């Protein structure tokens, strides 16, 4: 992910409010003599979280250039083609090329935006379909349960905004929001086939992670892990890309499992009877300097310090 940004805007002047809104959101007509507007936005080139506070009445005409999902407090009615609603009643999804006419009236809105290419890539990874295009059959969640799941994921994500400057945190939040959106809203195609694929990949991930935890002390490879759980190397990679929270590739997961085991041995070892190099070799780290560098990155301390404390 690149292009991290965090912006804060607040204005109480009608002219300034109107000028800024038109620059950011296209055609906007502020229907009041007094108005204020505030927005906080945080994200990067692939996704963004926006919180907008409209202390005025307005009409917004906006043609989407990416995917948006929105929810609000009472007071934001909208129309997209022949469909209409209010973001406070049900979250709604706006697709690229769709024109939305919105009428905010003293309301607060949470807006989630996804780059079109990134959402398509995530859908292909999660559902194991390299031809899948991210298009949706409807604007609303497919069930009340999945609506609540999406809203809960959004609420949790908003608690992480102060940490989104950290790339790993941002990746975790983005992955969670992508999965929630793809599961909650009605993707074009047969949902039974997608569900089977998603469940299968989650099962492959769980089985492979457990197998690597159990065999980390042996000279096993990713191909061994794939064979053990009955999939291909490519299938294993898809499963980790879709489900991996600690590591998005099987190679990284195996390295983390071995590093964790080496750390446990360092904590338990007698410094008079063993060395860092011996423990590193035990867990497959043949380069002592590289092991020390990786250990410091993971635990913020030298392995020698852990051994001798």
Give the integer Cα–Cα distance in Å for 116 and 134.
8
Same domain as 184, residue 106? yes
**Same domain for 135 and 12:** yes
Inter-residue contact 49 to 157 (CB < 8 Å): yes
* Domain stops at, among 188, 223, 246: 188
Same-domain status, 200 and 220: yes
- Do 126 and 274 reside in the same domain of the chain? no
Task: Inform me whether the pLDDT recorded for 54 exceeds 50.
Answer: yes
Q: In the predicted model, what is the mean pLDDT of residues 7-18?
A: 83
Per-residue confidence at 2, pLDDT binned at 50, 70, 90?
Answer: low
Across residues 1-20, what is the average pLDDT?
82
In this prediction the pTM is 0.71
Which among 119, 146, 150, 151 has a CA at the least distance from the CA of 135?
119
Chain centroid, CA 169 distance in Å: 9
Domain containing residue 298: 190-309
Q: What is the pLDDT of residue 101?
A: 94
Q: What is the mean pLDDT of the chain?
A: 89
Domain-terminating residue out of 137, 164, 188 = 188
Mean pLDDT of 73-77: 95
- Report the CATH number at residue 49: 2.60.120.10
Domain boundary among 170, 188, 206: 188
Strand, coil or helix: what is 199? helix
Q: Residue 206: give its domain's CATH number.
A: 1.10.10.60
Phi then psi for 292, rounded to 5 degrees? -60, -40
pLDDT of residue 285: 84
26, 152: one domain = yes
How many folded domains does the chain comprise? 2
CA distances from 183 to 102, 108, 180, 275 (A): 26, 25, 5, 49
pLDDT digits (tens, 9 = 90+) for 168-218: 789 889 988 998 999 899 999 878 777 777 788 889 999 999 999 899 888
Same domain, 137 and 87: yes
If DSSP codes are grouped into helix, strand and coil, which group holds residue 68? strand
Residues 153 and 290 in one domain: no
| CA distances (Å), origin 52, targets 37, 65, 84, 91, 159 | 7, 19, 20, 15, 16
Residue 303: its pLDDT value, please?
92
Residue showing tokens 């499963």: 239
| 3-state DSSP assignment of residue 34 | coil
**Token pair of 118 as six digits:** 């990134």
- Regarding whether 179 and 250 lie in a shared domain, the answer is no
Residue among 270, 268, 276 nearest 302 (CA)? 276
Share of the chain above pLDDT 90, in %: 50
> Both 174 and 220 in a single domain?
no
For residue 1, what pLDDT band results from cuts at 50, 70 and 90?
very low
Give the helix/strand (H/E) hosting 121. helix 116-127
Integer Cα distance of 123 and 106 in angstroms: 36
Q: Are residues 227 and 297 in the same domain?
A: yes
Has residue 251 got a pLDDT over 50? yes
Question: pLDDT tens digits, residue range 126-150?
Answer: 887 888 889 999 999 999 999 999 9
Strand partners, 143: none
pLDDT-derived band of residue 82, with 50, 70 and 90 as boundaries?
very high
DSSP the chain: ----EEEEEEE--HHHHHHHHHHHHSEEEE-SSS-EEEEEEEE-SSEEEEEEEEEEEEEEEEE-SSEEEEEESS-EEEEETTEEEETTTS-EEE-TT-EEEEEEEEEEEEEEEE-HHHHHHHHHHHHT-TT----BS-SS-SSHHHHHHHHHHHHHHHTTGGGTTSHHHHHHHHHHHHHHHHHHS-BSS-HHHHHHHHHHHHHHHHHHHHHHHHHTTS---HHHHHHHTT--HHHHHHHHHHH-SS-SSHHHHHHHHHHHHHHHHHHHS-TTT--HHHHHHHTT---HHHHHHHHHHHHSS-HHHHHH-
Residues 177 and 205 in one domain: no
Q: Among 10-14, 58-62, 277-281, 301-305, where is mean pLDDT lowest?
A: 10-14
Residues 159, 307 within the same domain = no
């Amino acid at each position: 992910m690149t292009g991290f940004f965090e912006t804060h805007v607040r204005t109480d002047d009608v002219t300034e409010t109107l000028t800024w809104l038109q620059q950011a959101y296209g055609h906007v007509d502020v229907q009041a003599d007094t108005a204020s507007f505030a927005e906080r936005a945080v994200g990067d080139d692939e996704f963004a979280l926006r919180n907008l506070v409209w202390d005025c009445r307005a009409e917004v005409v906006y043609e989407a250039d990416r995917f948006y999902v929105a929810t609000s407090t009472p007071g934001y009615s909208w129309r997209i083609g022949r469909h209409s609603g209010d973001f406070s009643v049900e979250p709604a999804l706006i697709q690229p090329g769709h024109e939305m006419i919105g009428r905010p009236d003293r309301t607060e809105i949470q807006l989630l935006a996804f780059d079109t290419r990134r959402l398509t890539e995530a859908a292909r990874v999660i559902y194991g379909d390299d031809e899948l295009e991210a298009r949706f059959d409807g604007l609303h969640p497919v069930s009340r349960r999945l609506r609540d799941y999406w809203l809960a994921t959004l609420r949790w994500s908003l608690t992480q905004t102060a940490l989104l400057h950290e790339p790993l945190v941002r990746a975790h939040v983005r992955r969670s929001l992508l999965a929630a959106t793809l599961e909650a809203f009605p993707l074009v195609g047969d949902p039974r086939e997608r569900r089977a694929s998603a469940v299968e990949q989650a099962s492959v991930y769980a089985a492979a992670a457990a197998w690597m935890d159990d065999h980390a002390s042996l000279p096993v490879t990713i191909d061994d892990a794939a064979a053990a759980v009955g999939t291909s190397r490519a299938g294993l990679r898809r499963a980790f890309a879709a489900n991996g929270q600690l590591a998005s590739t099987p190679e990284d997961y195996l390295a983390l499992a071995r590093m964790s085991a080496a750390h446990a041995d360092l904590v338990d070892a007698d410094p008079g009877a063993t060395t860092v190099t011996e423990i590193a070799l035990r867990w497959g780290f043949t380069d002592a300097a590289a092991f020390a560098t990786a250990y410091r990155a993971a635990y913020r301390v030298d392995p020698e310090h852990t051994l001798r404390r």
